[in-house]
Amino acid sequence: MGCTSLKSISNDIPESAAADSPKAVQDTVKLTPAQPSQQAQVASQQKSPCDDLTGVSAEEIEKRKKLAYVSKTPIPDSHCSNCTLYIPPAKDKPCGGCMLFKGPVRPEGYCAYWAPITN
């Protein structure tokens, strides 16, 4: 006698204490919405002037879609700023352009027509 089995100890834990177990805390963290700093980061990425297509015609927007232009290249060594068709930004401007369509282009963008600069 005098020895308490583990089963009898676990039965003595109140349900409220079980809810505070590490597993329950992890589940709570997973469901927490994005933190303010993450939201600000996403918002700043979306507010790039190079993504603003105001004033660009629907025809030109369609051209960039057909070329599968994306504002962030999926291929680290292939991006607009090292493409032969890239038009570098004018002085004091953040966005470049492309010879294939009108409108702003991010240096870190990419499309299906990427071609390396050959000097």
**Interacting residues with ligand SF4 (CB under 6 A):** 67, 69, 80, 83, 85-86, 98, 100, 105, 109-111, 113-114
Encode the chain in three state secondary structure: CCCCCHHHHHHCCCHHHHHCCHHHHHHHHHCCCCCHHHHHHHHHHHCCHHHCCCCCCHHHHHHHHHCCCECCCCCCCCCHHHECCEECCCCCCCCEEECCEEEEECCCCECCCCCECCC
Q: Which residue lies nearer to ligand SF4 by CB, 28 or 94? A: 94
Q: How far is the CB of 65 from ligand SF4 (least distance, A)?
A: 11
Q: How far is the CB of 63 from ligand SF4 (least distance, A)?
A: 10
Q: How far is the CB of 44 from ligand SF4 (least distance, A)?
A: 22
